[in-house]
Chain A
């Protein structure tokens, strides 16, 4: 049994500043993740992941919004797929959106790269479940 608590880093990719603020606040208040990174759009996140100096600071999980300027969630998913094999870490991806458009939902759920499509407003219990599974390495296996 691994009694030592694993450090888990989450990243949020969203242009909505209020949502990002609340998301961070919630994580800190509930101590869901140990560290939190924020990116205003897909391009900022990809640039961070690709930069060699960040190789030891990569997040364990990324929550990616769909509607963003510059590089939206779909474009991010594609760009991520291309660099995935070069990353030193298995990063779990979630798409988050307010869109209840069935086409959007199917598109995200149909992508094997995406763990799930989470509808905003985000469900606290669901988020806690994700955090729980990431802290427990045996549970983590189901994502590999």
Chain B
């Protein structure tokens, strides 16, 4: 219904069309670029909230008073020839009489007529649509931001095609670009190997038995970063109860999970310490009871005995008990000391010097057993440690290695340090009688636990060593085989 096609309409049709143009809910305008003459339809006034003639109908008035200044370039572009970058449609804001600026869609067309070049256009109010569009963009932005901040992606599998759709945030967690297309199998291959079967199974169960799932697993991103992720899947059912879609979320929970794991290991350590304290209390009670019980026993017997040689023997036992009681008290002191010494200052301890001191104190035992001791502290020569602890650790381990030497061979003892990152390890290896780990492994570091019929086994050394090591945040591990030897691996820091 262009004016220029008037020759195809009768005069009556033309009058009719002019009426229609004035009545439709859109503004129509015409501008002759030579004569600067402007025509506005009634609808254009109406669209802006005016009666015809209420405002000046001119190009200047439109451009200066109605058109929002920011939209001027966009509007001008519609009047250019397409060759010069013109595009016929623009969204512009015009000032209305009562509702402020409103969004309009302006479609422009250029014609060459005998009167000169004419531009005409149609303006439609699209304010409501534009508002929806803005709101949608805003909520999409919010959603994307929420996902990005929560490191939360979403995905959907269409069961019929097994096509996988992933959100932008999910691809970010995968550290892949958005345009990468993945199949279900591709996505599973990003998970750490030990979790792949689990994921395949739960996804299959979700599809087959409509079973939702929620798991926390380890995942390796495209850039080889291993992180903890949470995968939650929820089947979408059709009216027949069959799973047609699987929808879910995929969240990077690495930092929270690692905090949880740290917390758990602290809890385990505390739990261990509690158990050891409880055990310690029982052991102390057991030992003090057995000594005091024996003392009472012997005192009674002494009173009842009339024979001189009996009394002499009983008295010698009473002396032994008295010594054992002192020794037990000494052990108690040592254990209490571990806790009180922990506040002492750590000093630079030189492994070589410290070991030589301990070895010279035990020289008699070393010579007596003809032990071959080799040390290598080149990987880590020094450590910040409580010197008394280090001395005690060396002394206990060396004493043990000599005490539990194999009867058929001379002791060979290897002591080395090892540095792994910031961790310092002390390795202590012997070729002694060894310990049956399956049988005694869990009691090895218990107090007064002895596994050999050695009269000088007291079962206190390893208990103390472990407490010292753990008091400074380390741990101690042991590998042993009967008749082969024992290897202690001590993580000092």
Binding site for B on A (CB under 8 A): 16, 18-19, 21-22, 25-26, 29, 40-41, 67, 69-70, 97-101, 120-122
Interface presence of B129 (CB below 8 A): no
- Bound complex: CA A19 to CA B314 (Å): 11
Q: Are B293 and A120 in contact (CB under 8 A)?
A: yes
- Bound complex: CA A33 to CA B451 (Å): 32
Which residues of chain A are within 8 angstroms of B297 by Cβ–Cβ distance?
18-19, 22, 26, 121-122
Cross-interface CB contact of B304 among A29, A69, A70, A100, cutoff 8 Å: A29
Q: Are B293 and A70 in contact (CB under 8 A)?
A: no
Shortest Cβ gap from A104 to chain B (Å): 9
* 437-454 of chain B: CB within 8 A of chain A: 448, 450-453
* 285-335 of chain B: CB within 8 A of chain A: 285-287, 289-290, 292-294, 296-298, 301, 304-305, 310, 313-314, 317, 320-321
Cross-interface CB contact of B293 among A25, A67, A98, cutoff 8 Å: A98
- Bound complex: CA A98 to CA B314 (Å): 21
Given known A98-B293, A100-B285, contact A26–B301 (CB-CB < 8 A): yes
Report 7 cross-chain contacts, Cβ distance below 8 Å, ordered by A residue: A18-B298, A22-B317, A67-B286, A69-B452, A70-B452, A98-B287, A101-B282
Shortest Cβ gap from A27 to chain B (Å): 11
Which residue of A has the minimal Cβ distance to B281?
Answer: A101
Q: Are A100 and B289 in contact (CB under 8 A)?
A: yes
Interface presence of B400 (CB below 8 A): no
Q: Are B289 and A120 in contact (CB under 8 A)?
A: yes
Cross-interface CB contact of B453 among A21, A69, A98, A100, cutoff 8 Å: A69
Which residues of chain B are within 8 angstroms of A99 by Cβ–Cβ distance?
282, 285-286
A-B contact count (CB 8 A): 66
B interface SS class:
helix
Interface presence of B457 (CB below 8 A): yes
Q: Are B450 and A120 in contact (CB under 8 A)?
A: no
Q: Are A18 and B450 in contact (CB under 8 A)?
A: no
- Bound complex: CA A100 to CA B278 (Å): 12
Which residues of chain A are within 8 angstroms of B313 by Cβ–Cβ distance?
21
If A67-B286, A100-B282, A121-B297 are given as contacts, then 7 extra A-B residue pairs at C-beta distance below 8 Å, sorted by A number, are A19-B294, A22-B297, A22-B301, A26-B297, A29-B301, A99-B285, A122-B293
Cross-interface CB contact of A121 among B286, B287, B296, B304, cutoff 8 Å: B296
Binding site for A on B (CB under 8 A): 282, 285-287, 289-290, 292-294, 296-298, 301, 304-305, 310, 313-314, 317, 320-321, 448, 450-453, 457
- Bound complex: CA A94 to CA B245 (Å): 68
Given known A98-B293, A120-B293, contact A22–B298 (CB-CB < 8 A): yes
Which residue of B has the minimal Cβ distance to A30?
Answer: B304
- Bound complex: CA A112 to CA B466 (Å): 37
Given known A67-B286, A69-B457, contact A18–B451 (CB-CB < 8 A): no
Q: Are A69 and B294 in contact (CB under 8 A)?
A: no
Q: Are A121 and B293 in contact (CB under 8 A)?
A: yes
- Bound complex: CA A67 to CA B298 (Å): 21
Q: Are A18 and B294 in contact (CB under 8 A)?
A: yes
Which residues of chain B are within 8 angstroms of A19 by Cβ–Cβ distance?
290, 293-294, 297
Q: Are A21 and B317 in contact (CB under 8 A)?
A: yes
Given known A29-B301, A120-B290, contact A18–B317 (CB-CB < 8 A): yes
Which residues of chain A are within 8 angstroms of B287 by Cβ–Cβ distance?
98
Q: Are A16 and B453 in contact (CB under 8 A)?
A: no
Which residues of chain B are within 8 angstroms of A22 by Cβ–Cβ distance?
294, 297-298, 301, 317
- Bound complex: CA A16 to CA B451 (Å): 15
Shortest Cβ gap from B311 to chain A (Å): 11
